[in-house]
Structure 1
């Protein structure tokens, strides 16, 4: 955390920093939990394949079991991959959180609803333009990805 704070110092205010870093950290946890669960239930199939056959049913099943659902290509590890492929952009994160908010089970609304609302990706706290904001988010994701 200190390394991340030092690296992003001057790029983002401390008050805004906590919303972004804790939001990303929590999403990483939820992504890893969903990935582990998928590994147990898919029995050699892929989430992309199951989702491709019947997206509504696949998402509903995940929501029923976890309280939330994550669409294929919207896991934390997918963001990492797009960074390495130099394809990362801010809409990836904002779209992911928008989809996440739509895929919260009714029973889990109290746990998850609005959890990422403090993360505003058009906010000048992250940077003056899209490239600067993407750079800050890339720094945070990379540092959270480090072993």
Structure 2
């Protein structure tokens, strides 16, 4: 496969993935997901640097105010275990668009008040545009 064929294949894949979203809007979704992945990985990296293990990660819930506050102080935000990007990947075919909606809502709710100005509304475009992925939750999840 030469360079032009590879580029053509990548473009074809991107068109298929973007579904009914206009090409110029697609970047907002991709960049939103990439940034959310970065924030998830950043939180995990910082937790592991503070002696969290893989076995400890399921304890990352909003029901544990000490952990929430500690992560907020460290990162400026808190992402629960169920809402981490890596947890979404593990779900495979069980992943649903509601996972994204719930996670983005929780992210907004769990921003450290001192960092509100930095993170507040950062995923608004992604969150409001999810409906463009399809006509129902199933088609949106598939897209």
Range of TM-score over shorter length: 0.7 to 0.9
- Give 2:112's match in structure 1, choosing from 105, 108, 131: 105
Q: Which residue does 2:124 correspond to in 1?
A: 117
Deviates more, 1:60-69 or 1:4-13: 4-13
SS at match of 2:133: coil
SS at match of 1:42: coil
Q: Given the two structures, how large is their TM-score scaled by the length of structure 2?
A: 0.80
SS at match of 1:30: helix
Q: CA deviation at 1:73?
A: 1.7
Distance in 2 between the 1:72 and 1:43 partners? Answer: 12
SS at match of 2:81: coil
Q: Does 1:8 align with 2:17?
A: yes
Q: Given the two structures, how large is their TM-score scaled by the length of structure 1?
A: 0.78
Q: Which has the higher helix share?
A: 2
Distance in 2 between the 1:43 and 1:110 partners? Answer: 28
Q: Which residue does 1:47 correspond to in 2?
A: 57
Select the structure with the greater relative contact order (CA < 8 A; seq sep ≥ 6).
Answer: 1
Gaps of 5+ in 2: 1-9
Gaps of 5+ in 1: 137-147
8 A contact 1:12–1:126 mirrored in 2 = yes
Q: Which has the larger radius of gyration?
A: 2
Q: Does 1:93 align with 2:111?
A: no
8 A contact 1:126–1:133 mirrored in 2 = yes
8 A contact 2:18–2:133 mirrored in 1 = no
Q: Does 1:59 align with 2:60?
A: no
Distance in 2 between the 1:46 and 1:77 partners? Answer: 15
- Give 1:32's match in structure 2, choosing from 38, 41, 50: 41
What do residues 4-37 of structure 1 show as CA deviations (whole Å, max 9, x unaligned)? Answer: 5233255321243122111100000001111111
SS at match of 1:31: helix
Q: Which runs of 4+ in 1 moved over 2 A?
A: 2-11, 42-45
When the two chains are superposed, the root-mean-square deviation of aligned CA atoms in Å is 2.0
